[in-house]
Amino acid sequence: MRVTADLHIHGRHSQATSKDLTISNLEKYARMKGITLLGTGDFTHPKWIEHIKEELPTETDGIYYTKNGFAFMLQTEISLIYSQDGKGRRIHNVVLAPNLDVVKQITDYLLTKGRVDYDGRPIFKIPCPEFVESLRKISQDIEVIPAHIWTPWFSLFGSKSGFDTVEQCFKDQTKHIHALETGLSSDPAMNWRLSQLDKYQLVSFSDLHSFWPWRIGREATVFDLEKISYKNILNALRTRKGLSMTIEVDPNYGKYHADGHRNCNVWMTPAQSKKHNYLCPKCGKELTIGVWDRVEELADRPEGFKPEGAVPFKSLIPLSEIISKILGKGIMTKNVWAEYHNLVTATRSELDVLLNVPFNELKGMTTEKIAKAIIATREGKIRIRPGYDGVYGEPMFEGEEIYQPDMPSPKVRQKSLADF
């Protein structure tokens, strides 16, 4: 069976999340999106774990189900902030757990190191090797996945606090790291340029802070399994068997793809940043070095290299954003929602629309401009103004400049949304 999974989410007790985040809202919009398995998010938080227990009354093979039969896997994210090799390190890890008893043991362990009640994504001063070793003493079925591995501030390879190899971060526990979450600002093709990553499964999840369809499942991992179970998901993450594809956003869409300084509305390519000594040309302050630059720094292969046996991926733009740009209306407006629901129905998910519905059928559901834009998105032909320094990238209108006039333009997408 095909399982489309988003296994990195947050509940309403995490910082900067929607207060309307509930299991029922997550289920509603996951079904709309086309996601069939969600992480629970934040299982260490005392209020959220009670909500999980109340709303997911049924368990089969390590998967927990709502009263309506929607599937969840026990999951959280932990922030580790510590010093190593004379440098402050800030690493986020996704943690998957096989059952509620193991969740309690994880929480009890973390309570010996600090508090878990102030944030759904709590912070601990635990080095990554100690963290992995301690969790494996609880259960060898716990899986630790380094989260959004390239983002500058809180990640394995981040320019501000990260490492240059997985081994530098996890040391003797590296053997227990099987999968890496590539994050919104990179895609598998960028990661294929590093031979050191060939042995890891590259996975993608949304890291959502709200349940809206332009957040939930914006990135996901697709499994082909005999049946849905924790064991089968774990086996796919550890061996690649059953890992079918990932769904990505164009990495330009991510908030940290390019180098930049948002206070000055400046972003740069790696070459441009180097030319300016990594300083903002407007104010002279240090640029935030993005994912593109870090990949260029650590890559030992040319752009376009694809390892043997690499898992395929598809890059998409959330349907709501396509409609919003075409109509020139806010993403939450009545007009955008009406057009969205012309396309997405109880029997046809957003991912079906973006990936599978033919153009002639799309024309019968929406305007020809929107139908053409959906096909162009499917074919990877939409230009994206790159995100930088915490600013999301943006699908472009015709006539909008992607690059500042005095800066050379590298390869970009072929069309803007307003071409349709």
- pLDDT tens string 215-233: 999 999 999 999 999 999 9
Q: Which fold has domain 2-252?
A: TIM Barrel (3.20.20)
Output DSSP code: residue 176.
G
% residues pLDDT > 70 (the chain): 94
Say if CB 204 and CB 247 are below 8 A apart: yes
Say if CB 170 and CB 163 are below 8 A apart: no
Beta-carbon-side half-sphere exposure of residue 44 (alpha carbons within 13 Å):
26
Q: Is the dihedral of CA 79, 8, 128, 389 positive or negative?
A: negative
Q: Is it the case that residue 393 has pLDDT exceeding 80? A: yes
- Pairwise CA distance, residues 327 & 333, whole Å: 10
Mean pLDDT value of segment 372-400: 88
pLDDT tens figures, 68-126: 999 999 999 999 999 999 999 999 999 999 999 999 999 999 999 999 999 999 999 99
If pLDDT is split at 50, 70 and 90, which confidence band does 35 have? very high
Say if CB 211 and CB 315 are below 8 A apart: no
Largest CA distance in the chain: 61
Judge if pTM exceeds 0.75. Answer: yes
The separation between CA 172 and the C-alpha centre of its own chain, rounded to angstroms, equals: 27
For 59-63, 75-79, 410-414, which range has the lowest pLDDT when averaged over its residues?
Answer: 410-414
Say if CB 62 and CB 98 are below 8 A apart: yes
If pLDDT is split at 50, 70 and 90, which confidence band does 408 have? very low
CA dist 31 to 35, 331, 398, Å? 6, 20, 33
Q: Is it the case that residue 413 has pLDDT exceeding 60? A: no
If pLDDT is split at 50, 70 and 90, which confidence band does 419 have? low
CB atoms within 10 A of CB 9: 32
Q: What is the helix, strand, coil percentage profile of the chain, to 5?
A: 30, 20, 45
Domain ranges for the chain: 2-252, 318-378
Return the pLDDT at 420. 57
Q: Is the dihedral of CA 345, 250, 43, 95 positive or negative?
A: positive
- Pairwise CA distance, residues 16 & 82, whole Å: 23
pLDDT tens figures, 136-165: 999 999 999 999 999 999 999 999 999 999
Q: What is the mean pLDDT of the chain?
A: 94
Say if CB 380 and CB 187 are below 8 A apart: no
% residues pLDDT > 90 (the chain): 93
Say if CB 257 and CB 280 are below 8 A apart: no
- Pairwise CA distance, residues 118 & 325, whole Å: 38
The torsion defined by the Cα of 377, 94, 123 and 55, in degrees rounded to 10, comes to 90
Return the pLDDT at 406. 40
pLDDT tens figures, 334-344: 999 999 999 99
Return the pLDDT at 78. 98
Return the pLDDT at 395. 87
Cβ contacts of 66 within 8 Å, gap of 6 or more: 23, 24, 27, 55, 56, 72
- Pairwise CA distance, residues 234 & 299, whole Å: 28
Q: Determine if residue 103 is left, alpha or beta; phi over 0 gives left, psi from -120 to 50 gives alpha, anything else beta.
A: alpha
Nearest to 44 by CA among 121, 112, 150: 121
Q: Across the strands, what pairs with 261?
A: 266
